Amino acid sequence: MRNEVLLDKEYINSIVSDMLDSLIVLDADGIIKTANRATLDLLGYKEEELIGRSVEDILPQDGGGAAFKDTGLKQLAKNGFIRGYEIVYRTKAGEEIPVILSGSIIYREASGSRAPMGIVCVAHDMREIKNKERKGARQERGFSGSLPPQGHILPSQESACGIGEPAQ
């Protein structure tokens, strides 16, 4: 039985450490207790630098950190989870990274009752998606000034390539 428990713990640790998305476990006071490799790589910290810090160290106030503390935590306390919360992580170097955050309260089972013991948060790095959105918006703006309004045809005396018979 003990070997099965150790194997299960090793299995779970492997899943957590090999996840591609950021995973952070906070205690009830918002102190980072666990962070997976994706989180460390994303934020530029070594494990010993991040563990024990307040989550506020990675949530800039102007990047949604204040709103998260106000509304996100209230929603989390009310529902036991949050999903799809847009926020910004701040790296060790000060870069701000947009992420989509989901989280849930984790409980300790003791004597037939459940007591909250922390929060598990999973965040997906949104930089690539945000860059594609910005690129698409730039392309739309670039075309908007050069194309005629929809439903109008520009008069032409020649074919589209400038050679051939005049347009009728």
Q: Which residues, 6 or more positions from 21, have their beta carbon under 8 angstroms from its beta carbon?
A: 38, 122, 123, 124, 125
Convert 91-157 into a string of H (helix), E (strand) and C (coil): CCCCCEEEEEEEEEEEEEEECCEEEEEEEEEEEEECHHHHHHHHHHHHHHHHHHCCCCCCCCCCCCC
Query: What is the reported pTM?
Result: 0.71
Mean pLDDT, to the nearest integer, of 126-150? 70
pLDDT tens for 94-118 read 999 999 999 999 998 888 888 888 9
